[in-house]
Amino acid sequence: MTNNEYKKILKSKLSEKRYKHSLCVADEAVRLSLIFGGNIEKAYLAGLLHDIMKDASNEEQLQTFKKFGIILTNIEKSAPKLWHAMSGAVYVEKVLNISDLEILNAIRYHTTAKQNMSLLEKLIYLADLTAMDRDYNGVEEMRHAVSVNLEKAMHIGLAYTINDLATHGYPIHPDTIDAYNEVILEKNNTSAADSILFSS
Ligand SMILES: [Fe+2]
Ligand SMILES: [Fe+2]
């Protein structure tokens, strides 16, 4: 299938606003791939399709999980906002017949993030936060961070997400906590290594 054919399907499944957001994330994912040396075609396609199930009803998403044998954890059951990433990945795999695991996982983890993310997974996670159509409080800080350092941008993105969820009393997916802890531990190790280097 060509990107134009994917766009037609996307247009039929999403509101105009969400469709435009998908195009913005695809463009942003390509821009970040050029900076950080990622695969441009995969970045565009994953960005384009990342929210393909975002406008589907809860019912339709639950049906998708049932049809393809996906079992939700208790935290996932309690957080319908996370569903579109999981149902999107399985829809893209089973209905659109895209078998590229990197693309599927970039879609799957674009909302929660996780430990040990690939470059493509990070680029889609961040492109979703820094795309042109985004205008939340703090987006400029995110855009600046992402243009300087991928790990710093992940730290800010994850901290923002965790803070926002906790403030509103929502559960936090363990994958998000794992991703956050990994970034923090790596950062601390790097600064510990730096101080050893400078003190010797
Ligand atoms: Fe999303
Ligand atoms: Fe999105």
Query: If we measure between CA atoms, which residue out of 175, 183, 182 comes closest to residue 114?
Result: 175
- Under 8 Å between Cβ of 11 and 19: yes
Instruction: Measure 74 CA to ligand 2 centroid, in angstroms.
Output: 23
Instruction: Measure 134 CA to ligand 2 centroid, in angstroms.
Output: 10
- Under 8 Å between Cβ of 48 and 88: no
Instruction: Measure 109 CA to ligand 2 centroid, in angstroms.
Output: 11
Instruction: Measure 124 CA to ligand 1 centroid, in angstroms.
Output: 10
Structure-token pair, residue 144: 């600046």
26-40 confidence digits (pLDDT tens) = 999 999 999 999 999
Q: Is the dihedral of CA 47, 142, 149, 110 positive or negative?
A: negative
115-171 confidence digits (pLDDT tens) = 999 999 999 999 999 999 999 888 999 999 998 899 999 999 999 999 999 999 999
17-29 confidence digits (pLDDT tens) = 999 999 999 999 9
At residue 29, the 3 state secondary structure works out as helix
Number of domains, the chain: 1
83-113 confidence digits (pLDDT tens) = 999 999 999 999 999 999 999 999 999 999 9
CATH code, domain with 131: 1.10.3210.10
* pLDDT greater than 90 at residue 194: no
Query: If we measure between CA atoms, which residue out of 109, 184, 181, 142 comes closest to residue 32?
Result: 142
* pLDDT greater than 90 at residue 177: yes
Instruction: Measure 150 CA to ligand 1 centroid, in angstroms.
Output: 20
Nearest-ligand number for the alpha carbon of 48: 2
Residue 189: the pLDDT is: 80
Q: Which domain holds residue 189?
A: 3-199
